[in-house]
Structure 1
Amino acid sequence: MQTQNLGYPRIGSKRELKKACEKYWSGKINLHDLQAVGADIRKKNWLLQQKMGIDLIPSNDFAFYDQVLDMSLTVNAIPEQFRDLQAQEDFDILDLYFAMARGYQKDGFDITAMEMTKYFDSNYHYIVPEFKKDQKFSLFSTKIIDEFKEALKLGLVTKPVLIGPISYLLLGKEKEEGFHRIELIDSLLPVYIDILSQLEALGADWIQLDEPFLSLDLSPKAREAFSQCYTAIRQKFPKLKILLATYFEGLRDNMDLALSLPVSALHLDLVRAPEQWVEIADKVPDSLSISLGIVDGRNIWKNDFQASLKIIENAVEVLGEDRILIGPSSSLLHCPCDLDLEKKEDILTPEIKNWLAFAKQKIGEISLLRSLAIGKEDNDNMALYRSNQAAIASRRTSTLIHNARVKNRCLAITDSDAHRKKPFSLRRAAQQQSLQLPLYPTTTIGSFPQTKSVRGWRAKYKKGLISKTEYENLLKEETTKSIRWQEKIDIDVLVHGEFERNDMVEYFGEQLNGFVFTQFAWVQSYGSRCVKPPIIYGDIERSHSMTVEWTAYAQSLTQKPVKGMLTGPVTILQWSFVRNDQPRSETCQQIALAIRDEVVDLEKEGIKIIQIDEPAIREGLPLRKNDWSQYLNWAVRAFRIAASGVRDETQIHSHMCYSEFNDIIENIRDMDADVITIECSRSQMELLDAFAEFNYPNEIGPGVYDIHSPRVPSKKEMIDLLNKAKSVIPENQLWVNPDCGLKTRDWEETEKALESMVEAAKEMRKSSKVVL
């Protein structure tokens, strides 16, 4: 029986990679310094896993930005617009890589970043590969081989990890018509063969190929491609051990296909789909080993050793000890690094901390489960087992978790609580009368740049170095400046800037009962963007207003409307580590009631526009379409519960980003937000097609520039995008806004971009014949 890991967090336990990348991008360190930080993180990760008893340690799970982008660079799937950058003297391959991810605007170049979207149903974003009909692939980046050699120098024969060829193609997008990307497998496969040949020659024993699409609905062409591809790999490498990794869902109707592929081991996610083992047990061919993904790679709760050992013991009875591997359900990329860093008991109480396990602790769980399963029951192991079971029992019976008042309120919800008083057509007239907004009204998504000074004030306040009064006075000054500046450039609907907020989910979680927080539980969202998700451990309740004071203060400074800014219940759920002792729908309903209370209080304070952001509603979709309706029913209902306690005149906005909406457009309509703002700039307004074809009835703000890239778009560029938008959406339904919040940008680029955005909107009004 072997232990294995699918991937380890790459940001560093204290976000060393994030800090190094951002210093490199700003010119504060050189390429050598950046590479040294990456090498140090890899070394620490490998040696930690070796020390803790992992047999098959992954390599190539590290990435400076994104593992899918790594694969695009590896196989030379570089879009044409970046080719001229390659030819620049002294332009390193890593600079090309960052340009593809972030865009490039200097040295006479002005290139937009590649499209970015969510990785399946996680909050991790990946850079979408781009393919053409005649796409040619070749080995361009040798990163995977270089990192294997790097580990060899440490005396480690690692298990290189690659995105499998079928999933890599399916993660991408065709950039021209007349073909399907899966047809490129014949061109792509030789590059994989080349990589595997080099790794085998260097002494690689195991190779991990991630094929998460085996857990999704597959077309006949994709099924055929799986068989063709893995048969070819086995014929070429009869001795190389291929571990085929599936995760995030069960195999279901793809089980027979997966079992037929000539690989050495098949990894199953037994956290998301625990029933898989029973379904597969009597079907496993004699040549195949099974990797049991029994430690949760997506959440932070301790593993229940008793339950896991039952699965392992049954698997050993069926297959024998030598054909079993034990690992996490998925890569640990989605988990924080190390619970041992959490030392402040006033932040994370000992009782709750005792229920948790981060990546380092999960590695320990995997190793200990193997020891217990093979009968290595020495005193230390048994003490750890008893401690584990005591923690599981403690959580089950804790008085911290349950709140009868919250449960009773949820039971009392009626259908009328989830509906606005009148339909949108009647609300719209009331809102136009109340707000008196022009055609192409301009606004932003909510946050403004959080400068080093703003973050410094917060840090000093938390450390007790400045008083609450001093801190709030500084924030009031910053808020006032932002309101005055927005008035100056003539934005129509203002925001207060959110200078008091850390993260759009963390800020609310800190003020809701049932949440707990950490100091260092960071996870990567995209590139250098890291988030510190709250932990939902119990029933959720709002005990006081959370945003009213700051929004009302901002509104007192101006005659223009100021939006109340809230995070929606589904997004708070999705971007938290969620309790796993009750259905997610119940937890979401509790959050919805808390947000509803805040919405009602904002309206009472005279706030006429309230935005309830739901960027994660598409992300939360189950991977199988047959499961969608159940999720969408409770997710949409939760949003409507949060939004429906106000008068018709109060305009409800929502924001979504980096998602494909085509399949859920009816559900977005059912959310019944008066205005929805969406990301459209990276896709050049492609996402609007779904709204146009559906004849979406409400108002839409398609993002006219990409805030995740440092480049500043021109006014002409935004006008071109707005002209594309008005060709499919009526002008009187269109808003003008960036595609996301501006918290991570700096003021110089923000000011230039928003000034151009306002001018673009005014120019569109001049050329319009629509009269409101």
Structure 2
Amino acid sequence: MTNIKSSSLGYPRLGEKREWKKALESFWAGTMGEEDFERRMKELRLSFLKKQKEKGLDLIPIGDFSCYDHMLDTAVMFGIVPKRFGKSAGRVPLSTYYAMARGTDKAPACEMTKWFNTNYHYIVPELEQSEPFLTENIPLKFYQEAKKELGIEGKPVIVGPITFVKLSKGYEPEEFSSYVDKLLPLYETILTELEEAGASWVQIDEPILSVSLSDDEWQILKQTYEHLTTAAPHLKILLQTYFGSVDDYQRMISLPVAGIGLDFVYGRSETLHNIHVHGFPSDKVLAAGVIDGRNIWRADFREKLGLLEQLKEIVREENIMVQPSCSLLHVPVTTELEKDIPQVLQDSLAFADEKLMELAVLKNPSAHEDILENSLRSREALAQSSFRCLSRPSDIKEIRDSRPLPFAERQKLQEEKWNLPLLPTTTIGSFPQTREVRVKRRDFRKGDISKQEYVQYIQKRIEEWINIQEDIGLDVFVHGEFERNDMVEFFGEKLKGIAFTSYAWVQSYGSRCVKPPIIYGDVEYIKPMTVEETLYAQSLTDKPVKGMLTGPVTILNWSFVRDDIAEKEVCEQIAVAISNEVKALEEAGIEMIQVDEPALREGMPLKEKEWQEYLDWSVRAFRIATSQVKDTTQIHTHMCYSEFDDIIEDIRALDADVVSIETSRSHGELIKAFETGQYDKGIGLGVYDIHSPRIPSVHEIKDMVERALRVLPPSLFWVNPDCGLKTRKESETTAALKNMVQAAQDVRLSVQQKQV
């Protein structure tokens, strides 16, 4: 028996079978009332806490549960509600909460962007000049609930003030300190009331420390935590970092807190180096993130136990807590429901529940020797399996990764070939996937309908939406992707070396969840994946129909990736496979092909010094996938919900003929990036937000296009939504697209008149 304790940073919200998602969508649809919805949320919240208690966790996170997003929760707790949604003197009602997340007919939603370099997206708080106030002490409410209902002495979790303000918008850099100061009394009240209620620990998340802070910001951080520890002197603060190492380790360990959480998975070498060189304070607890909270492989217990032995040479055993490297929000719930994947793979997986069990092993190895030995055997079996012992392509370095002609020369040839109007209109790829579509796909998978019946149904939907696109007046069509469950899963199912689960869902944003592929072996192309449906769509119209593919970097970043070889090597394998599909489309006569890379920016390392290496191999992978085509074949790509102004040159280096990028939720802010540097390739800035049910007016779309044309030449500009339309209703989609086309036509006429 050891003196080491176990802790966790957070637990998945979705539920084993997406019960959370279903409750949200029932409430939004009006089939579940608010009282029943809140009752259901409580049931789920308590069931998750109970499960963690049963796993023997010493410090159970409380308040990490959310009805949409933890940053949104923090904003409404502080009364930070944009004026367009109205103001509330007390608790923010659910209607306002979800209006901020999803928008309304009269008020566009708050911006949504990625949570550091994960595949989760958060709602960006908008800091306005009005004073924040504490609408409700949510951590206290959930702490008392867990104690009363389950007898759990939990560890409340709060987004820290430095991270909260840094990830918000609506203020100038010089105002950073004043906004932290405005929030400080509210944090002090939260902690004081938790202390009075008997809480022992509180986890304050400051993942921004794994990115970078200026000297002034470090000073503000220090002053902030001096205030917080003084306000509640008997409440132990665990300052939690994750997603990498901390740049200024010495400053961090000098902060007046009771414990510090460090990532020993994604920041392992640098963090361990810092502890060896600078030591660790004897009066603080080290919460060591030794279990990977972002990937799904069983722990290598030899490595983990060896790491703990190193730490015990520096930190007293009773001052060590083992925990995941970050919240388990980023992994599925349990492997117990998975029955349809190879046994050697199943035995090698650890989802959230299994990771909690791994903490128990690390806490007391001698009591769990069977689990320890099974894990070691399983990892070895996968390493020796045929999935990882295939003959890998040895000539990837020799594959062409550039187009023969530069864009300026290709553009002339493509203009002559396609003869598109000024400001051509198109969509990003998918059209609404109704319940009927999902049921048909499910019935086909279960064998309830024949392949012929399924193909006929998909063709019927394709034909319907080709006709709709004709009626709307779009210039470039898509087939709608009705046969596809998910933009990554669809391709992963058709490539060797990638497996899919039945219930391994994770949250992407709101109720949107995905089942990431598991890249467990060498990736190889088998046969054409998209040619049949795209060719059928093209046979129905004289307008060009884009072939729609997912790019290698996105498949990599939106998957759980094998951990035995470098990600760069895995990405190159995927790129070769996608290049084969690009060639198959071109050979079939589809010569406008979109290879989407929405996750290129998302996958960037947090530390700027590591960006270029990642971008270099990511750009090369995209070019491997797209460069084996004729000069007249037009390559498109799409990216969404990230900040791109700092990587514009790398986007240019992709050498795509047309790049479409989201700008609608950020209210056109990306356009600023083009005011200081000219972009010389085709570009479509998403002109309306597809993640909101509201229908944009012709006027607001025209404003977005006209603003863009102040800095971008009309000859290179495309008009499109900011993302795919699969989550929208058919009526919303057609109405919004009609307005988009009308706006494009109006601006087109205006530009042409000016040119005359």
Query: Is the partner of 1:407 in helix, strand or coil?
Result: coil
Query: Is the partner of 1:387 in helix, strand or coil?
Result: helix
Distance in 1, matches of 2:488 and 2:717, equals: 28
Give the number of aligned pairs.
749
1:7 to 6, 10, 33: 10
Percent identity over the alignment is 47
2:56 to 53, 56, 65: 53
> 1:320 corresponds to which residue?
316
1:371 correspondence with 2:364: yes
5 Å matches for 1:72-83? 72-83=75-86
2:120 to 110, 119, 124: 124
> 1:202 corresponds to which residue?
197
Between 1:512-521 and 1:675-684, the stretch displaced more is 675-684
> 1:391 corresponds to which residue?
378
> 1:183 corresponds to which residue?
178
Distance 1:520 1:174, change over 3 A: same
1:159 correspondence with 2:155: yes
Query: Is the partner of 1:310 in helix, strand or coil?
Result: helix
The one-letter code matched in structure 1 to 2:330 is: H
Distance 1:456 1:117, change over 3 A: same
Distance in 1, matches of 2:397 and 2:641, equals: 34
> 1:115 corresponds to which residue?
111
The one-letter code matched in structure 1 to 2:102 is: R
Report how far residue 141 of structure 1 moved. Answer: 3.2
Q: Is the 8 A contact 2:195 2:234 kept in 1?
A: no
> 1:705 corresponds to which residue?
688
Distance in 2, matches of 1:724 and 1:656, equals: 20
Distance in 2, matches of 1:16 and 1:178, equals: 41
The one-letter code matched in structure 1 to 2:6 is: T
> 2:260 corresponds to which residue?
266
Report how far residue 161 of structure 1 moved. Answer: 0.4
> 1:21 corresponds to which residue?
24
5 Å matches for 1:303-702? 303-343=299-339, 347-372=340-365, 377-378=366-367, 381-404=368-391, 406-413=392-399, 417-702=400-685
Query: Is the partner of 2:268 in helix, strand or coil?
Result: coil
Instruction: Encode CA deviations 1:486-518: one digit per residue, 9 max, x unaligned.
Output: 011110000000000000000000000010010
Q: Is the 8 A contact 1:169 1:182 kept in 2?
A: no
Query: Is the partner of 1:768 in helix, strand or coil?
Result: helix
Distance in 2, matches of 1:72 and 1:319, equals: 37
The one-letter code matched in structure 2 to 1:382 is: E
Report how far residue 135 of structure 1 moved. Answer: 4.7
Report how far residue 411 of structure 1 moved. Answer: 4.5
Query: Is the partner of 1:693 in helix, strand or coil?
Result: coil
Q: Is the 8 A contact 2:6 2:58 kept in 1?
A: yes
Report how far residue 624 of structure 1 moved. Answer: 0.6
Distance in 2, matches of 1:53 and 1:738, equals: 48
Distance in 2, matches of 1:236 and 1:545, equals: 64
Query: Is the partner of 1:130 in helix, strand or coil?
Result: coil
> 2:706 corresponds to which residue?
723
Distance in 2, matches of 1:234 and 1:556, equals: 69
Q: Is the 8 A contact 2:568 2:617 kept in 1?
A: yes
Between 1:282-291 and 1:468-477, the stretch displaced more is 282-291
Instruction: Encode CA deviations 1:37-62: one digit per residue, 9 max, x unaligned.
Output: 21111111111111111010001111
Report how far residue 669 of structure 1 moved. Answer: 0.5
1:257 to 251, 256, 264: 251
Distance 1:697 1:473, change over 3 A: same
1:287 correspondence with 2:306: no
Report how far residue 277 of structure 1 moved. Answer: 2.3
Deviation beyond 6 Å, 4+ runs, structure 1: none
Query: Is the partner of 1:174 in helix, strand or coil?
Result: coil
Distance in 2, matches of 1:182 and 1:425, equals: 47
> 2:226 corresponds to which residue?
231
1:244 correspondence with 2:247: no
Instruction: Encode CA deviations 1:142-181: one digit per residue, 9 max, x unaligned.
Output: 3222211210112111100011110111111125x57443
Distance in 1, matches of 2:168 and 2:524, equals: 41
2:293 to 291, 297, 300: 297
Distance in 1, matches of 2:491 and 2:674, equals: 31
Between 1:470-479 and 1:316-325, the stretch displaced more is 316-325
Instruction: Encode CA deviations 1:389-448: one digit per residue, 9 max, x unaligned.
Output: 1112112222211321x33242543xxx11001000001111110001001100000000
Distance in 1, matches of 2:40 and 2:397, equals: 52
Distance in 1, matches of 2:702 and 2:207, equals: 39
Distance in 2, matches of 1:168 and 1:116, equals: 14
Between 1:134-143 and 1:652-661, the stretch displaced more is 134-143
Q: Is the 8 A contact 1:113 1:709 kept in 2?
A: yes
Query: Is the partner of 2:132 in helix, strand or coil?
Result: coil
Distance 1:218 1:55, change over 3 A: same
C-alpha RMSD of the superposition: 1.5
Distance in 1, matches of 2:569 and 2:175, equals: 40
Q: Is the 8 A contact 1:705 1:739 kept in 2?
A: yes
Report how far residue 691 of structure 1 moved. Answer: 2.7
Report how far residue 369 of structure 1 moved. Answer: 1.1
Distance in 2, matches of 1:49 and 1:178, equals: 41
Distance in 2, matches of 1:771 and 1:429, equals: 20
> 2:731 corresponds to which residue?
748
Q: Is the 8 A contact 2:14 2:506 kept in 1?
A: yes
Report how far residue 459 of structure 1 moved. Answer: 0.6
Distance 1:43 1:567, change over 3 A: same
Distance in 2, matches of 1:583 and 1:688, equals: 35
The one-letter code matched in structure 1 to 2:303 is: A
Distance in 2, matches of 1:668 and 1:745, equals: 28
Query: Is the partner of 1:266 in helix, strand or coil?
Result: strand
Query: What is the TM-score of this pair, normalised by structure 2?
Result: 0.97
Between 1:356-365 and 1:238-247, the stretch displaced more is 238-247
Report how far residue 184 of structure 1 moved. Answer: 1.3
Distance in 1, matches of 2:376 and 2:755, equals: 69
Distance in 1, matches of 2:375 and 2:587, equals: 49
2:209 to 207, 210, 214: 214
Gap regions ≥5 residues in structure 2: none
Q: Is the 8 A contact 2:79 2:92 kept in 1?
A: no
Query: Is the partner of 1:318 in helix, strand or coil?
Result: coil
The one-letter code matched in structure 2 to 1:104 is: T
Distance in 1, matches of 2:137 and 2:17, equals: 28
Q: Is the 8 A contact 1:76 1:141 kept in 2?
A: no
Distance in 1, matches of 2:466 and 2:248, equals: 55
Distance in 2, matches of 1:115 and 1:728, equals: 23
Report how far residue 92 of structure 1 moved. Answer: 6.3
Report how far residue 544 of structure 1 moved. Answer: 0.3
